[in-house]
């Protein structure tokens, strides 16, 4: 009998989902949304004692922005705005993504 390990949740995706499902400001543009996700992700890394060297920070932020924009496009595909996506998403699907997040060392 094989024992399977529980799937690890990607922290960036979990933080992205939290921002998406808790989105409130309809005046916020995509650039601001992406920036807020990245800011929280960098805080998460710092809290978990993961250091990004200052010389690489700009490159890391640029790569994270690309990933978050890609996640946003894939997640809300077919909806003109994040607000429209939220209206169509069942409340059950809006569980707290970060609560599923665990960091193993």
> Could you report the per-residue pLDDT of 21-71, keeping only the tens digit for each?
887 776 778 899 999 999 999 999 999 999 999 999 999 999 999 999 999
Q: With respect to residue 105, please indicate whether it lies within any of the assigned structural domains.
A: no
For the chain, the domain total comes to 1
Cα within 13 Å of Cα(98), Cβ side: 11
Question: How far is the CA of 41 from the CAs of 27, 44, 51, 70, in angstroms?
Answer: 22, 5, 12, 16
* Average pLDDT of every residue of the chain: 83
How confident is the model at residue 59, as a pLDDT? 97
Q: Hey, how many other C-beta atoms are within 10 angstroms of the C-beta on 24?
A: 8
Question: What is the extent of the structural domain holding 58?
Answer: 11-92
Q: With respect to residue 41, please indicate whether it lies within any of the assigned structural domains.
A: yes
Eight-state DSSP code of residue 105: -
- What is the C-alpha end-to-end distance of the chain, expressed in Å? 27
Q: With respect to residue 20, please indicate whether it lies within any of the assigned structural domains.
A: yes
Q: Which pTM was predicted?
A: 0.74
The CA distance from 26 to 32, in Å, is 11
How confident is the model at residue 83, as a pLDDT? 77
Q: With respect to residue 87, please indicate whether it lies within any of the assigned structural domains.
A: yes
Q: With respect to residue 100, please indicate whether it lies within any of the assigned structural domains.
A: no
- Secondary structure (DSSP) of 6-26: PPPPPHHHHHHHHHHHT---T
Q: Hey, how many other C-beta atoms are within 10 angstroms of the C-beta on 64?
A: 18
Banded model confidence at residue 97, pLDDT cuts 50, 70, 90:
low
How confident is the model at residue 105, as a pLDDT? 38
Most confident of 12-26, 60-74, 85-99: 60-74
């Amino acid at each position: 009998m094989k024992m399977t390990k529980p799937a690890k949740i990607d922290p960036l995706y979990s933080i992205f989902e939290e921002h998406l499902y808790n989105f409130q400001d309809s005046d916020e543009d995509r650039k601001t949304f992406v920036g807020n996700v990245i800011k929280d992700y960098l805080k998460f890394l710092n809290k978990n004692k993961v250091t990004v060297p200052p010389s690489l920070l700009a490159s890391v932020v640029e790569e994270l922005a690309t990933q978050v924009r890609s996640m946003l496009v894939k997640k809300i595909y077919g909806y003109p705005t994040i607000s429209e996506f939220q209206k169509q998403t069942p409340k059950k699907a809006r569980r707290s993504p970060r609560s599923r997040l665990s960091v193993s060392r």
